[in-house]
Structure 1
């Protein structure tokens, strides 16, 4: 059967068009895409720490939630890249918070009941650096959403300092002195696994909902975090407002027993 020359020519023309389109699609899949975000984070801080008062003295238990009253500095940034389904992601978080109270009873000495007239002047400073480095793998994608599996590790570098002065009758408590100070530092590495992604809202695909969750353990008994928010896309990138919660539970015998951050964040996301 003889094929009309016009149809044969049209078929050759369509094939010629399809070849570069397929090549472009393959090229796009093989191209690295990067994303960088800078955030301001304004968390409330909670947790419990046991500060040794001396070689032969008991410990002072203090709650960060009751003592911390101001944020000195907080910053957060992320950087990631993706090529096809595989990628990487890194998150760096730093905060410096502090607080002081005078004539307070917001502390505890394990094994002893504080006499009614005993109060303390306490000054607490908490510096925390969290660094997450992970690989990512795309497990779901459509024009309206994306979902990646995240697996990697997180470093927690925590430094706390407490200065105290105890007022009142402490004759029944074997404190080495009425006043003192103590610095504590821990560095924990934990393996983490989680999910991160986004979902668009509306037909114009300008508004979207970013989210992230992970859980892990290792040198810590348990760590987990959750972030969810809303973003709006521009030509250069997007603006995001979100809420982030981070929680650490330490193993027994560690002076810093628990630590949590809970609060809003706002920032800008750049894609290139």
Structure 2
């Protein structure tokens, strides 16, 4: 029998930290054209990301345990933050970058009427908790194909690792029908790690006469252990001396091959943060 599916379609709400941290997202802002192109250049970014996330996750149960199916689209939301940052280095037209994103997303719903366990619907209320923990690590190289005071453009290639652990816990309250007592309280968890090759581009368009304001953008897509992965980001940044403040919208999507605990996932939301260049 095919494994049951866990539907995930939810929104993560939260206040953006005032001291907020965001990116040059894999140096997504792309460094401006340098007066000395042969000098080494570096950037370090820290950022906060508040995504909505959705998708479909296969249930994974212990041997002999009951399969489950639940719609968690109406869960109340909460989010915890992990470390998020990126680093890049370059000389001349060549460069390299690394971007690390740690996610700790959680939701809880005191009473879930849309829950089935062991192949049958549960008519009574069910307390459920869902969490999604893991990390996304992108690393690669880049080559600048356009270097202009107004527009810079880099081509990039590299790899991305996706490691996630979805977990669902339930507690059946009241009449559970024919469900065995041992199954009234339980949980299910699975892990999935994928490596994919990626190709893409990034750049920035400078607006205004003083060059402080710019519009950064980023896109990549690839495949490998997953069927397809892609991400895009765009926003606005303001530079002052060697420090740059940025606000962007970032979308990351994964479509997995069959056989793993995760079928597909996507993350969509704002990022804010700061970049230091030297």
TM range (shorter): 0.7 to 0.9
- SS of 1:205's equivalent in the other structure is coil
> Take 1:214 and 1:175, find their aligned partners in 2: how far apart are those partners?
49
Distance in 2 of aligned mates of 1:209 and 1:120: 47
The aligned residue for residue 215 of structure 1 is 221
Q: What CA distance in whole angstroms lies between the structure 2 residues aligned with 1:249 and 1:59?
A: 23
Post-superposition Cα deviations, 1:185-226, rounded to whole Å, max 9, x if no partner, equal 111111111111111011111100111111111111111111
Does the residue aligned with 1:28 lie in a helix, a strand or coil? coil
Query: Which residue in the other structure is 1:3 paired with?
Result: none
Alignment-derived partner of residue 21 in structure 2: none
* Higher Cα Rg, which structure: 1
The residue number in structure 2 matching 1:47 is: 55
Change (3 A) 1:201 1:77: same
**Corresponding residue of 2:246:** 240
Provide the alpha-carbon RMSD of the alignment: 2.3
Q: 8 Å contact 2:97–2:141 — kept in the other structure?
A: yes
TM-score, length of structure 2 as denominator length: 0.80
Q: What is the CA-CA distance between 1:182 and the residue it aligns to?
A: 2.1
Question: Counterparts of 2:268 and 2:118 in 1: how far apart (Å)?
Answer: 27
Match of 2:142 among 109, 118, 136: 136
TM-score, normalisation: structure 1 = 0.81
Q: Distance in 2 between matches of 1:56 and 1:190?
A: 34
Unaligned segments of structure 1, at least 5 residues: 1-26
Structure-1 residue corresponding to 2:86: 78
CA deviation after TM superposition for structure 1 residue 77, in Å: 0.9
For residues 162-203 of structure 1, the C-alpha deviation after alignment (integer angstroms, 9 at most, x for no partner) is: 211234555467897122122211111111111111110111
In structure 2, the CA distance between the partners of 1:83 and 1:107, relative to structure 1 (3 Å rule), is farther
Partner residue of 1:269? 275
The one-character-per-residue Cα deviations of 1:63-86 (angstroms, maximum 9, x if unpaired) are: 565436101114421111111111
Match of 1:99 among 101, 107, 116: 107
Structure 2 partner of 1:119:
125
Q: 2:232 aligns with which of 226, 239, 253?
A: 226
Higher relative contact order (CA 8 A, sep 6+): 2
Quote the offset at 1:108 in angstroms: 5.2
Instruction: Give the helix-richer structure, 1 or 2.
Output: 1
- Following superposition, the deviation at residue 87 of structure 1 comes to 0.7
Identify if the C-alpha distance between structure 1 residues 80 and 158 changes in structure 2 by more than 3 Å, giving closer, same or farther: same
Contact 2:62 2:188 (8 Å CA) reproduced? no
**Aligned counterpart, 1:14:** none
Q: 1:188 aligns with which of 186, 191, 194?
A: 194
Q: How does 1:160-179 map to 2 (within 5 A)?
A: 160-167=166-173, 170-171=176-177, 177-179=183-185
Total equivalences in the alignment = 244
Say if 1:37 and 1:269, in contact at 8 Å, map to a contact too.
yes
2-side partners of 1:218 and 1:174: how far apart? 42
Deviations 1:14-69 (A, max 9, x none): xxxxxxxxxxxxx9332211111111111122122222344345532345654361
